[in-house]
Amino acid sequence: MGNLSRGYIDLHKIEYVTRGIIPNPVDQLQYGDVLFNTRNTPELVGKTAVWRNELPCAYYNLNLLWFEFDSERVDPFFFNAILNTKEAISELKNIAKGTTSVAAIYPQDLMNVKIPIPPISEQRRIAKAITDMDDLIGLLEKQIAKKKAIKQGAMQELLTGKKRLPGFSSEWQYMEPCLENR
- In tens, the pLDDT along 100-154 reads 788 889 888 888 888 889 999 999 999 999 999 988 998 999 999 999 999 999 9
Say if residue 180's pLDDT is above 80.
no
- In tens, the pLDDT along 58-86 reads 988 877 888 888 889 999 999 999 999 99
What pLDDT sits at residue 139?
94
What pLDDT sits at residue 181?
63
Query: Please, what is the average pLDDT of the chain?
Result: 88
* HEC letters along the chain: CCCECCECECCCCCCCCCCCCCCCHHHECCCCCEEEECEECCCCCCCEEECCCCCCCCECCCCEEEECCCCCCCCHHHHHHHHCCHHHHHHHHHHCEECCCCEECCHHHHCCCCCCCCCHHHHHHHHHHHHHHHHHHHHHHHHHHHHHHHHHHHHHHHHCCCCCCCCCCCCCCCCCCCCCCC
pTM across the whole model:
0.75
